[in-house]
Amino acid sequence: MAVIHRTTLKPTKLELLTSWLPSRPWYRGGDGEPALVKAGGFRLDDPRGEVGMEFMVVTDARGPQPVAYLVPLTYRGAPLKGAEHALVGTMEHGVLGRRWAYDGCHDPVLADRLATLIEGRTQAQDQNVSDTPAPDVVASYTGEGPLPRDFTVTDDGEGTALSTPQGATLRLHRALRPAADGRSLPPRGAVGHVGGSWQTPEGTRVAGVFAAVYGAGGQ
């Protein structure tokens, strides 16, 4: 299990994301620097204990309509070869030293563990407490066989698609939408999904879909 260290980060995660988010095609804030606050999320564990993985939800409260974004991040003790385009930035960790933070959708370790979560073979972990399951994260999968892992990653105005030659697509919702019924159920046509909740600027919690699998369903 990953250990959550109570220490300092320079710069902080929110400081890194403030400069990085506006460069994404799915960012909805327009011109100007976002005003980000942490709104929720969860973690996944690396069985080898080498890569930190966090699915952060941050809310940009700058505009008239706040927007919540899903930002999967991986934290590494050395640069990930071939992933320079996915580097969010570097931080100095008070315990672990320099850490390289990446857009986790482009990190094969996170992509594998997210697929494993959807398949029901691992459990999401609390964002802030070590060795504690995340109580409000749900996952489902009705496809046949394991999901392929040879993902091709594409960012667009709607989010991030991890597609495979076998025809399956794992789509991450980047600008999150609360479910009308308050439940994070699988979208229509999906064969798998991950859902959870986050906090609004008003202090209430809402639920929605973080990621969904479409297409071949692992066949």
Q: To the nearest whole number, what is the mean pLDDT of the chain?
A: 91
Do residues 201 and 170 touch, judged by C-beta distance below 8 A? no
pLDDT (0 to 100) of residue 217:
46
Output the pLDDT for position 6: 64
43 vs 123: CA distance, rounded Å = 9
Question: Could you tell me which of 103, 95, 47 has the C-alpha nearest to residue 74?
Answer: 103
Per-residue confidence (pLDDT) for residue 93, from 0 to 100: 79
Backbone dihedral region for residue 41 (phi beyond 0: left; psi -120 to 50: alpha; all else: beta): left
Q: 2-7: which pairs have CB atoms within 8 A and are 24 or more residues apart? A: 2/43, 2/45, 2/46, 2/49, 2/52, 2/53, 2/125, 2/130, 3/130, 4/128, 4/129, 4/130, 5/93, 5/94, 5/95, 5/96, 7/93, 7/94, 7/95
Cα–Cα distance measured from residue 157 to residue 150, given in angstroms and rounded to the nearest whole number: 23
| CA-to-CA separations, 82 to 107, 116, 172, 174, 198, in angstroms, rounded | 10, 23, 22, 23, 33
H helices of the chain, in order, are 13-20, 108-118
Secondary element (H or E) of residue 71: strand 67-76
Band (pLDDT 50/70/90 cuts) for residue 180 is confident
Instruction: Write the pLDDT tens digit of every residue in 138-176.
Output: 999 999 889 989 999 999 999 999 999 989 999 999 999
pLDDT top residue among 148 and 114: 114
